[in-house]
Structures are given as structure tokens and as C-alpha cells.
A and B are shown apart, each in its own frame.
Chain A
Amino acid sequence: MDINLIQEKIENELAGVISPQALEEVRVKYLGRKGLIAELTGSIPMLPIDKRGGFGKEVNALKIKVLNLIEEKERSLKNQDSAAKKNNIDIGMPGIAQRPGSLHPITHIIDEICTIFNRMGFSVLEGPEVETEYNNFTGLNIPLDHPSRDAFDTFYLKKYAKSLLRSHTSPVQVRAMKTAKPPLAIIVPGRVYRPDAVDASHLFMFHQIEGILVDRNIKFSDLKGTLEMFTKNVFGKDIKMRFRPHFFPFTEPSAEVDISCIICCGKGCSVCGRKGWLEILGAGMIHPNVFKHVGYDAKKYTGFAFGMGIERIAMLKYGINDIRLFFENDLRFLKQF
């Protein structure tokens, strides 16, 4: 019998095997106790003495060869098996999971700003939305009958004399300073209200965030340093910042703070009105009259305050062009945040 022919036959047979069962049949047929190779080995003693040695070696080689082939086949069948399992599921199908919800973009901005100031050591404080005329105006050095009040059109309440909806978050300054002694480092987010006609850039309710720091030796230069850190954290390290003199009744000196336009990087575009700068907040050193109202000693303490509109920051940061989108609450808008 030609060993080579046998090997060829086995190889052909193995190639046709597609299941572990068929492979086992082939194995038994050739390598089993009554299999062909055992038969061949058994036939050796019947050969002439001079042929026995050579034939024995050939049968042995065949046995090793077949063992290897079967082992190889077994492996390839296993691989095919898992490949087949994979093919049962098209990974292009949608994944299965609970769909996540979302937080409002205003919440995201407030959280981001609070976190930045928390790291600097400021605490978050909130105050009521219904305020007294005193906390909203007088305590903040805003005379009741003065043009400086024109910037703060205010909703008043019926039936409750001198009660109003706060037109800025600054009344919380007054509350905080009246209840705690310096050092004071707080950040105040919240809703504020002004009777404005609604359009793409005005609402009658919006959000502000306010910060104050009062201690011995707080200087205007500290205000600059703090806000520089803030703007770089929110808008990126390449952002430029400038302080422009301005007037607020509750701070002196006062400043408006601009950042280089995040759209055109200061070259001038429609967003920044060709100026290259975007006004983002108001700030200054707390006015001695405010300290007088809350009972702080202006000889001992100095402090700074700053405040900004959250919607404005969110619009700039996220590229939102209509402020009304914030309170329309279209889910297709909300899901983007």
C-alpha cells in the first residue's frame, strides 16, 4: 500500500470536514484502535524483514502527520465557530442602553463657573428671588430716584409694599455681608428679572452669577488676576482680557471686562460688532457706601465684586444665536448639552 496515497486521501477527507462530529469520525477511522493506521502497524510483522524497518518509519511519520492535521483542523473549526457566532449579530445594529438625559446649558455654565471659583476657595451662596427695595437698590448705593436706576428696570409686587423681583444677584452681597464677617469669598448664581420686551437678545428673566471677595488687603490688581484666571478657564488660555473703566453705583473703581472675540480672535466680525472685543462682565472694588450699609469697616477691609449674565456666556461658549432658545426648551436643543 502506498503511504503517500493514503496521506493524500486523508488530507482530502479532512478538507471536507466542517463539523467537530465529522472530524471525530475521521479521527476514529484513521487513528482509532481499529483504525487504518493501527491496521498498518499491525501489518508490519507480516512484511519481509528488510522492508519492515522502512515501512515502520513511514507509518510512524504518517501517524504524526495525521495527528497534526487533525489538531490543526480542530483549531480551525473552533475559530470558525466563534466567527460564525460573531456573524449572528450585526454590530452595525443600534446598541442597547438606557438613553441618557441632559442638563440645561445654563446649569452647565453655572456649574462650570462655580467649580472654577470653588477651586479658588469661594463658596456658593444663593438668595431669594423676591427681594426688598433696600437690598436691591439702597443697600447697594443705588439712589431710588436717580438715572443710575434706569439700568435696573424692576418688577414690583402687588399687595407687598417695597417688594420686588430682584433685578440682579447683587442683593445677595448685602445679605451675605450683613450675616457674616470678613473674610468673605462667595459666588452667587441665580435667576433675575427685568421688564424687557422679549427678542433675540432680551428676556424678562435671565440668570446672573456674582462673586465677592472681602478681606484685609484685597486690591484692584487681585480682581484683575482673579478674572484673568476665570476667563482663561472658561474660554481657553489664548483668550485676551481687558478692563475698561465704567460706572456701577456699588463699586468704585468700576470696570467692564471684555474678552478678545472668540469668533474672530480680535480681528472684528459680526458677533463682536467689528470691535474685536466682547463685553462679558462688570466688576469693581466694593463701594465704601455699601460697606457702610452692611456695617463693615471700610478702613479695615477692601473687597471686589463682579457679575455677569449666564445666558451671554452660554451663547458665546456654545455659539447660540437666539436667547429665546434657552427657555423654549425644545428637546432637540436640550439634548445637545
Chain B
Amino acid sequence: MKITYNWLKDFIDLKVPPFELAEKLTMAGLEVVSLKESGGDFIFEIEITSNRPDWLSIEGIAREVSAICGGTLKTKTPKELKFKNKGILSVPLLVSNKKDCPFYSGRVICGVKVGPSPGWLKKRLELLGCRSVNNIVDITNYILFELGQPLHAFDLDKIEGPQICVRRAMANEKIITIDGKEQLLDPEILVIADKNKPVAIAGIMGGREAEVAIGTRNILLESAVFNPVLLRRGRQKLGLQSESVYRFERGVSLSGAARASFIASDLILSLASGNPCGYKSLGSLKTADRLINLDPAYVKRVLGGAIPAVKMKQILNKLGLVVKVKAKQILSVKVPDFRQDLKLPVDLVEEIARIYGYEKIAQSTPAVVPQEKLLSKRDITCAIKNLLSGLGLHEVITYSLIDRALLAKTGIKTDSEVVEILNPLSCEQEVLRPSLLPSLIRCVAFNLNQQIDYVNIFEIANVFLARPHSVEEEPVLAIALCGVHSFLSKQGLVKDDINILHLKGILEALFNKLKVKDFNFTPQDDGKISILLGQKQAGFMLELSRQALDSVDIKNRQVVLAEVNLKQLFGCIGFEKKFASLPKYPAITRDISFVIKQDIAVRDLLIAIEEKGAPLLRSAKIADYYQGKQIPAGFIGLTVSCVYRLDERTLTEEEVNPLHNTVCSLLEERFGIKLR
């Protein structure tokens, strides 16, 4: 909304200079977003909040200025003009539905001279960025800006009948609007029609055919109040926007509609001559007075601090409200119809606080009653994030909305349908992702393109699964590793090609730190590796297929991925920390080095060792593995480290050796190992 300093002066004696005024308006809730000097005047651009249609006019802002800066508001009183309620040029008027149009009035002015507007009028409109058309159209715009009431002038001779009907459009009815575009209408759209066809889209835009132009002799001046919701839906449907509908949507007042019609007519008569002729209106202008009782103690309760009741009354008066003091200091406030936003006592509290000044309200510290709080999911999520970043991973945040094509390209399958977005702006917002992995794959590809040769990232976010009656939202953790992890060691540069064991290592470290008791990794038939938490599948690891890599332009690299359902993980976390006594007696460690066929699962081997060695055997771990020159193809060299120990005394070699030998022979017999 734009206003000018000089125009404002028509309504109030301004004592504050423009820049100071801008500051004061901003601090009263009319945020001045720009202030420019132009043609000896100052243009204020103000952001008007949607609850204040009364501020969409010079007069409304002047009223506000009088409350903020002092000074008396000079309102315009319309001259009594003699329009006849009957006669030959009195046009028949029909309003099909009162809800759609609570008030409609038309004034006929005959014999006008359409021509250019006088300079002062042109200038004022142009300063607000409104193009001058001709004196009649300019006057309707002038009144719209000055009083906030949209008006429309028709060329009466182009209205067939002549008759005015406010009705819903019929299906497939068409109109060419003043911008020259053809609009297809339907019964959701309100129109102003003559005997045969729509001549304007009510409150939104006029039609070209009945437009006032050079040569127009007789005009019909419309001033009305339309249903805000109906107009809003209409302009959304048609994709139109105008100064008129902007105000109608926010609500114009009945009294304003009547008044503006008079003031505009007066201006037309003086600038374009012509005679007042017929007048007709439908709908009542009567409004029920709204009374709000305000207890000054309530103001204090909401704001804190103390504003004197006298000051409250003064502020409300200045804003155009009528205040009476009743018993017990209660203020009885009568609200005028241009303030539709004031309904509850708290609305008046805001008015008082706003004008009094938010900055004058003291600060205090509330007494917060601490909430009973257990360890929340968020705390655990934070812990997981910290653990993963400690393990060298970088956290990413990617969009929850993705394109279907990415899902297909990366070949990440989920067991449910995807949730589709009804109104995406682009294909990148087509669906809610059922997995984080496609986004992470894209993120890996992006980083590889930046010549980064080692990408190790994770994300924790919700995935969305389509269920029959609702959308299921589940928090998941996803990890992606790719490239060559190169680092300096004492031996020099080590280049470590990432594979799935790196991923496993990260998950093991995470699960161990979270005290997850029972976790396992087992291969699935489809090549993925299941992550089992407490015997249940809680996620999987996989190596991305060549085809998928090609589709996202990842060349000569391997990407390993994991996704873990956090809800399941939360259920398996051991929150109790318990100390286990340290061993009092030394252990005896025996290593077995051997060659074994590669297709034998190491896990089976270790389980067998542990069973055989129990109870003296306390742990059996892979200490080393080797594949290379000395090992035949299809075999792997392994070293298993066995630790034997007793809690109550020191073990002797004589006790351990025979047991260890049976372990070794078991391996030879059952797994066909060859000791090295």
C-alpha cells in the first residue's frame, strides 16, 4: 500500500517530518518498507497486515496518524446530491443472493464529458503507481485509494436492458476484461450482468465492453459490498488480482460504500460535469453496534505494567471508538463498522499497547515451572548425531520432497506406495520420500562433481509411507560412504578404498556405544545385508548397483549405503550403564593362524570356536586376515585370537593347551582349515 505525505495532509495537520512519521508508523504496526521523495512529495510504501482493511486508504492511515502523533482527523462529509429514486434513467436492479452481495448501489450520471484528468489528480495517482486513464476512471481509483472503497463506472449505453443484475456466472459464460483477456466463468464466480451477458466480474475486474471511454455520455457508478470469501475464491480461480478485490477480500464497510458513492459522484460532477439522475440500491446499510467491555485490570493482566485507564480511553477514542466508563472502571467500547477486526477485549488490549508503545512496556522474567522430563527421543537423536560425527561422518540435510524419477533411477525399493503431493510447483516436489537413500546418493554425486574424492555423510530425518488411511512418518538414519579414504600414517599415505565393512564398522561402533545388546548383519537373497536389532530387521546395508550409479553419473566409484529405522533402534538402546568388575587374574591368549576357504562364513566359524572353548574361552576375535601371494585363490588367511581366563584364579598352560587343541581340531574337522 502506497500513500503520499501531501495526500495525508488533506486529512490531518502533520507536524512530524516524513522520516520521523515513517519510524512512528513502523513502530505502531504499519511497517514502512520504503520512503522515497518524488515530485515535491514523499511516497510511503507500507506493509498492511491482512486484518486491517481500514488501513488500505489514506483516510484510514490518517486516523492512525492522529492517534500516534496527535492532531484532529478531518473526515470528508459527502455533499447531499439529488439523485432520483425513479424516472426514465433509473435502471432496474436485481441481486440474486444477498449473501453474495449484501449491498449494491448504482447512481446514474448523465451527460458527462469524458476526457483527461486535471494535473493534480493525475499526479496523485501516478505517485501511487496508478496509470491515469480518463477523468471518470481516475476518480473511481482516486476514491479507492483515498477512502478504501472500490467503485466501478460503466458506460450505461452499453448495458443492455438497461438492467443490472448481480448473479453467479453461468457455466461456460465468457467475458473479456479491461486487460483485454478472455475469462472463462463458472457458477463459483459472481458477475455483474446486463440483460444478456456479464459486464464485469464482480469486485474483481470490469469488462471491456461497458468500459468508460472517450465518447461515453451516461455512466452508472457502482458502489457495493461483496462476499469476501466468494471473491477470494473467484480471483484465485481466475488468477486475477486487482486493487478492488484486494480490498473486498479483506472486507469493506457498509457505511464506507454508501459514503464513497456520494463523494465520487460529487467529484465526477465537478470534474466531468453531467447531471445526477437515477439512483437505486439494494440491501440494508444498518449494522448492529458492537459493544466490547474492557476491564483495565485485564489489560494489566495481559500486558504487565500499568497503563492508566484514562490513557486507555484516550487511545481508543483517537482510533475512532466510542468509549464510556461504566461502574468499577469498566470501559464500554462501541466499535464502528470499519473495524471488523475488533471482536474481543484482547483486541482492544493490542490497540492500547500498540499506540501506547510496545517499547514502553517493561520486561519481566516469567517463573517457568520446569516440566517433568525423561530422556526424549530428541536427546537420543542428538547423541547419535554426535557419535556419528565423532566417527568422522558429516551430517547433511536434504529435502523431504523428491522427484519420482530419482526414486526409480536409484532403484531404492520400499514396501509401500509413495505419498504424492497434490500441488507441487515442480517435479522435484512430486512425492514425499519413502527412503533417505535417493537423496543421499544425489548428494554423493554432487560432491564427487566438486572434485571431492571421499564422501562420508549421514542424515536423520523422517520417511513417509502411504498407509490405507493415513501417512506413516518414521524417523530413520541413513549413511552413505563413497570414494577413497586417504590419510597419513607413520608408514606414509594410506589409501583405503571404501567398502561395506567400513559401513559395518561405523554401525558397530554406534550400536556398541548405544549399548544395543543384540545386533547382527546377515546377507539377504537380493544382495542387501539385513541389519538385525534384537532378532528383527531394522534396516539394511547395500552396495549400489552399477546401473544405479550410471544413472546418477557416478563413475569408477562404489557407493555403500545403510538405512536404519530409528524407532526400532530406540527400542533396543540400553540406557542403564552397569559396571562389570575388572578381571583379577591374567588371561592366556592363543592365536590360531590358518587358511580357510573363502565361502565359509567367518561368523559361523567364530560361533563354533566360542561353543567349543566355553567356559574358559572368554573371547575369540579375528586378529588379522590376508589374501595375496602366499594364499591360494579362493582361500583366505585368518588369525583368530583366543583369550582364556578364569575369574577365581590364574589359569595354567596345562589347562589351556588341551582345550585350545580341541578348538583347533574342530576347525580342521568341521571347516577344513589348514594351520599355517
Contact = CB atoms under 8 A, between A and B. Distances in A.
A138 to B, nearest CB: 15
Interface in B404-462: 419-425, 429, 432, 443, 446-447, 450, 452, 455-457, 461-462
Interface in B63-89: none
B429 A155 contact: yes
Interface string B30-49: 01000000000000000001
Interface string B206-230: 0000000000000000000000110
A195 B394 contact: no
A158 B368 contact: no
A174 B280 CA distance: 49
Contacts of B250: 147
A68 interface: no
Interface stretch (B110-118, B370-378, B557-565, B625-633): B370-378
Contacts of A120: 368
Given A213-B366, A225-B364, A243-B358, A101 B388 contact: yes
A247 interface: yes
Contacts of A129: 400, 462, 464, 473
Contacts of B600: none
A334 interface: yes
B365 interface: yes
A197 B473 CA distance: 26
A85 interface: no
A282 B266 CA distance: 45
Given A103-B385, A185-B369, A186-B371, A246 B29 contact: yes
B392 A107 contact: no
A331 B392 contact: no
A332 B462 CA distance: 25
B16 to A, nearest CB: 18
Interface stretch (A2-10, A43-51, A216-224): A216-224
SS class of chain A's interface: helix, strand, loop or mixed? mixed
A104 B396 contact: yes
B490 A288 contact: no
Interface in B455-501: 455-457, 461-462, 464, 466, 470-471, 473, 487-490
Interface stretch (A54-62, A71-79, A249-257, A260-268): A249-257
Nearest to A227: B363
Name the residue in B250, B382, B470 with the highest tally of chain A Cβ atoms < 10 Å from its Cβ.
Answer: B382
Contacts of A204: 399, 401, 425, 429
A147 B232 contact: yes
A244 B29 contact: yes
B423 A155 contact: yes
A221 B305 contact: yes
B187 to A, nearest CB: 17
Contacts of A69: none
B395 A226 contact: no
Looking at B359, B396, B443, the one whose CB has the most chain A CB atoms below 10 A away is B396
A244 B26 contact: yes
B304 interface: yes
A228 interface: yes
Interface in A118-171: 120-124, 126, 128-130, 145-148, 150-151, 155-160, 163, 165
Given A155-B422, A253-B350, A327-B397, A99 B392 contact: yes
A104 B447 contact: no
Interface stretch (B124-132, B341-349, B521-529, B659-667): B341-349
Contacts of A245: 27-29, 350, 353-354, 358
Contact of A219 (B303, B390, B396): B303
A121 B373 CA distance: 10
B314 to A, nearest CB: 18
Given A148-B51, A193-B401, A335 B394 contact: yes
A148 B251 CA distance: 12
A253 B371 contact: no
A173 interface: no
A90 interface: no
B302 A220 contact: yes
Contact of B363 (A107, A151, A224): A224
Contact of B389 (A94, A100, A254, A332): A100
B159 interface: no
A96 B488 CA distance: 7
- A156, A218, A331 — most chain B CB neighbours (10 Å): A331
A15 B457 CA distance: 61
A228 B421 contact: no
B602 interface: no
B303 A221 contact: yes
B515 interface: no
A121 to B, nearest CB: 3
Contacts of B344: 252, 288-289
Contact of A146 (B50, B378, B473): B50
Contacts of A334: 394-396
Interface in A284-318: 285, 287-289, 302
Contact of A158 (B362, B420, B470): B420
B393 A101 contact: yes
A246 B359 CA distance: 14
Contacts of A28: none
Contact of A121 (B27, B52, B303, B369): B369
B420 A159 contact: yes
A121 B50 contact: no
Q: Of B302, B344, B349, B443, which is in contact with the most chain A CB atoms at under 10 Å from its CB?
A: B302
B301 interface: yes
A41 interface: no
B545 interface: no
Contacts of A159: 419-420, 466
Given A156-B422, A213-B368, A245-B358, A96 B490 contact: yes
B470 A147 contact: no
Contacts of B27: 242, 244-245
B371 A123 contact: yes
Contacts of A326: 397
Given A99-B392, A101-B388, A247 B51 contact: yes
A185 B397 contact: no
Given A129-B462, A155-B421, A219-B301, A191 B394 contact: no
A330 interface: yes
A329 B440 CA distance: 10
A253 B400 contact: no
A158 B419 CA distance: 7
B29 A247 contact: yes
Interface string A93-117: 1101011111110110001001000
Contacts of B363: 221, 224-225, 228
B446 A98 contact: no
Of the candidates A123, A163, A224, A287, the one having the most CB atoms from chain B within 10 angstroms of its own CB is A224
Contacts of B464: 129-130
Given A148-B51, A156-B421, A205 B450 contact: no
A151 B304 CA distance: 30
Interface string B231-258: 0110000000000000001100000000
Contact of A157 (B370, B385, B395, B419): B419
A329 B305 contact: no
Given A101-B393, A163-B471, A220-B353, A205 B401 contact: yes
Nearest to B250: A147
A195 B423 contact: yes
A124 B378 contact: yes
25 contacts: A96-B487, A96-B488, A98-B391, A147-B232, A150-B50, A155-B422, A156-B423, A204-B425, A219-B364, A221-B305, A221-B361, A222-B364, A224-B363, A229-B365, A243-B361, A244-B358, A246-B31, A252-B349, A254-B350, A255-B358, A285-B302, A288-B344, A330-B446, A331-B450, A331-B455
Given A220-B302, A221-B305, 14 more contacts: A101-B395, A121-B369, A129-B464, A159-B419, A159-B466, A184-B371, A185-B371, A205-B400, A252-B346, A252-B349, A254-B350, A289-B344, A329-B398, A334-B396
